A and B are shown apart, each in its own frame.
Chain A
Amino acid sequence: MKHLLTLEWMKVRRYRTFWVLFTLFMISMFGISFMWWYFNHQLSQGDMGAKMVSSMIFGSFNFPGVFNTITQISSWLLYFPGFVIIFHTTNEFTFKTHRQNIIDGLERADFIKAKLGFAFILAILCTLIVFLSSLFFGIISGGGSITLEGLSYIGYFFVQSCIYILFALLLALLLRRAALAVGIYFIYGILFDFLLALWISKGTDSTLGFYLMPLQVSDQLIPNVITEKTVSLMGSYKTNIALIISVAWIAFYCWFPVRKFSNEDL
């Protein structure tokens, strides 16, 4: 795997689009947390009503609640590492370097494993920045203590990142065109995954759809800081089941591309 990741590093280190998008994304991850914290801070300085609105909408910035708050709002930006991996992967098809890599002696499966490794590294980096942001805002808010339950949100965020990024990778490998993959990824992510989940749930008169659809099930791992305090739309979720199904989706996203790429004409 080290050799494969070295190859991926050689491919991206001179790819300016990657670095621009990646840097903007990393700044945005911290920026959105800062914005959330700032509005919360301003409201919490106000009268009693403002303080109530602040706690209902913005969630807690004290430990351990800050881990829930930061991971939840940061998850809104998880489309961007998806875009990064789509551009990185569809480049291979645009330049036909996926063929050249195989011709030069790379195993077909290794080509995909390299992309999967790259996707997991992106997920780890996203998780790391979220963890550091949580620590930062927890410390400056100055309250509570770091608990295992609080840290579990960091783990859930990693799972959620993996699903978003690997789903984008799957689309890139299937569609092979950047614009098409980005368009379908974004529209499916913000709308159709939810609609399909709702349709299945309505049809079965249960919350089944929200356990089955990949982005929905990973979204449910981290409670929404707004709806949790106001109204629960979907009923109570069994996090362990959601976690198992999320991991199953990750396993599928790793297995299917390797199988497909190993058997088809390139």
Chain B
Amino acid sequence: MVLEINNLSKNYGSIQALKNVSFSVPTGTVFGILGPNGSGKTTMLGIIMDVLRATSGSIQLFGHTPTATDRKKIGTLLETPNFYHYMSAYDNLAISAAIKGIKDPDIDGVLQKVNLHQRKHSKFQTYSLGMKQRLAIAACLLGDPEVMVFDEPTNGLDPVGIAEIRDLIKRLAKEGKSIIMASHLLDEVEKVCTHVAILKKGVLIAEGHVDEILVNDDIVEISAANLSELQAALENMNGYTKIGAADNGKISIYFPPGTANLGQLNEHCFRRGVVLNHLQAKKKSLESKFIELTNE
């Protein structure tokens, strides 16, 4: 395991930002920490990286209590890109490399990976938000660490930049790196991560493989002239997970992922004397899934 979190809690005065959170991050995975703003994602990463003190609970990095030496082996972008404004990208990365104890750091190489090489001698204060974010990712790549921690890595990037960073993360994952990524974007986690932990108001509400946690039911929307007859016809149908209440003259039927068969459904209703006047397969939006997971 890269990381093990045991009963981690953090209080800010009367506010409990994390409540007895426990999970493990296996080696070689892209582990997403998903949750809405204020769910405790950054607090958790802050505790892991020793900028915040836990109220209770414990953490193990690489199988032992974290030390400064462990942090040197991790490339971390936490919350915002933090650099000296009056210094160039190159000089800022030189400081990061010096702290990490990297001899002969490949600063030019990491700047090329994030498309900042042309501006390596420009002062950080002249950078756009997206460029600052890319510089922070370049800092994470210094020394080619085996573990990386990204907190909202695509913040402030334009669509092309977002795609580039997601590709970069996927590439790093293919190289066997372990990546821990916090995000409030379900779409991002689904596209990039192999595992996920979902936080809501400091509580871990789900954890596991992305395909298990972020599973999307098939939804079929149907309608008929007589809704009560339609509902009666559906009662003795098999294979669905739930039937929603009639909404605007239409009923939604939920099936396990990949099992909805519109032909069979139509035939089932017709055999029971109900003629459908509306039959449509709908994909549940990721946003609605996210809201469903994190709602009260």
Name A residues whose Cβ lies closer than 8 Å to a Cβ of B: 3, 6-7, 10-11, 14-17, 91, 95-97, 99-108, 110, 263-266
Contact = CB atoms under 8 A, between A and B. Distances in A.
B266 interface: no
Interface stretch (B66-74, B168-176, B195-203): B66-74
Contacts, number: 77
Contacts of A102: 49-51, 71
B50 A265 contact: no
Contacts of B49: 102-103
Q: Which of B51, B52, B78 has the most CB of A within 10 A?
A: B51
Interface in B117-131: none
B51 A266 contact: yes
Contacts of A104: 71-72, 76, 96, 99-100, 139
A95 B136 CA distance: 13
B143 to A, nearest CB: 10
Contacts of B53: 263-265
B56 interface: no
Contact of A10 (B73, B78, B86, B91): B91
B98 interface: yes
B280 interface: no
A106 B99 contact: yes
Nearest to B47: A265
A28 to B, nearest CB: 24
How many B residues touch the partner, as a band? 20 to 34
B51 A99 contact: yes
Interface of B: 46, 49-53, 68-69, 71-73, 76, 78, 80, 82-88, 91, 94-96, 98-101, 139
A139 to B, nearest CB: 40
A7 B87 CA distance: 14
Nearest to B97: A104
B95 A11 contact: yes
Q: Which of A16, A91, A102, A103 has the most CB of B within 10 A?
A: A103
A110 B69 CA distance: 13
Given A10-B95, A106-B99, A264-B53, A95 B85 contact: yes
Given A103-B76, A105-B99, 19 more contacts: A3-B98, A6-B98, A10-B94, A14-B84, A14-B86, A14-B88, A14-B91, A15-B84, A16-B86, A17-B86, A99-B78, A100-B83, A100-B96, A101-B99, A103-B51, A103-B78, A105-B100, A108-B50, A265-B53
B82 A105 contact: no
Nearest to B123: A14
A95 B51 contact: no
A3 B102 CA distance: 13
Contacts of A266: 51-52
Nearest to A104: B99
A105 B68 contact: yes
Contacts of B82: 95-97, 99-100
